[in-house]
A = this chain, B = another copy of it.
Amino acid sequence: MKSTKESLPRKTVYRLSLYLRGLDRLAGAGAATVSSETLAEAAGVKSTQLRKDLAFLGHFGTRGLGYNTAALRERLLAVLRRSRLQPVVLAGAGHLGAALLGYGGFAKEGFEILAAFDVDPAIVGTRLNGIPVLAMENLAPFVTAERVRMAILTAPAAAAQEVADRLVVAGVKAILNFAPLILQTPPGVTVKNVNLAIELENLGYFLDAE
């Protein structure tokens, strides 16, 4: 029998995060159980989808009643915890990078950003929202020493590939990339691109032409 984590479909894993957040939001109501219908609505998916997703984690819902709220929460956390405990660094503390540090959304969800790195002497040595900004030269040694495997890349497009190279050499295995270009990385390194302008452009396309 093989371990659970290997067999979870990519999109299911993504939705588990949605379920966990939906559950937390519903927690205010304090109900001991939650139906797939209710939670699915809170997460923005169909109830059949949710049941199929949760079935991958083993069947622990109760027919006729729903899922035990606390047990479900624990189970989801157990699956997702691993990634939350990962230390993270942020490379490029310019406009967007500084914004993400100040934003607080990561810390609130349990992620710890150990440090930010930038080339600008004006901000190196300062702290942004409590997170130290260090010189870019220290990036690789820091990442290696702290065994950091995840990074948020918010460097300008022109510098992004070079910074990514440093991250990879130092041992980073996963990059959340905000720079508008496709990073070249060796196998074994995962890159997830976020391009807000494209999201907006895409959204606009599907407006009724009217």
Name A's B-contacting residues (CB within 8 A). Answer: 5, 10, 13-14, 17-18, 21-22, 25, 41-44, 79-80, 82-84, 86, 88, 95-96, 98-100, 102-106, 108-109, 111, 149-150, 152, 173-176, 180-182, 188, 190, 192-209
- A53 vs B114: C-alpha distance in the bound complex, in angstroms? 41
Whether the Cβ atoms of B181 and A25 lie closer than 8 Å is: yes
Q: Give the residues in chain B near A102, CB-CB below 8 Å.
A: 95, 99
Interface of chain A, main secondary structure: helix
Whether the Cβ atoms of B86 and A198 lie closer than 8 Å is: no
- A14 vs B3: C-alpha distance in the bound complex, in angstroms? 34
Q: Which residue of B lies closest to A11 (CB)?
A: B202
Whether the Cβ atoms of B100 and A100 lie closer than 8 Å is: no
Q: Give the residues in chain B near A13, CB-CB below 8 Å.
A: 202, 205-206
- A182 vs B41: C-alpha distance in the bound complex, in angstroms? 8
Beyond the given pairs A86-B204, A96-B99, A108-B197, 13 more chain A to chain B contacts, judged by CB atoms under 8 angstroms and listed by A's residue number, are A5-B205, A17-B195, A17-B198, A25-B181, A43-B182, A88-B200, A95-B102, A99-B103, A105-B197, A111-B197, A174-B204, A176-B199, A188-B208
Whether the Cβ atoms of A173 and B86 lie closer than 8 Å is: no
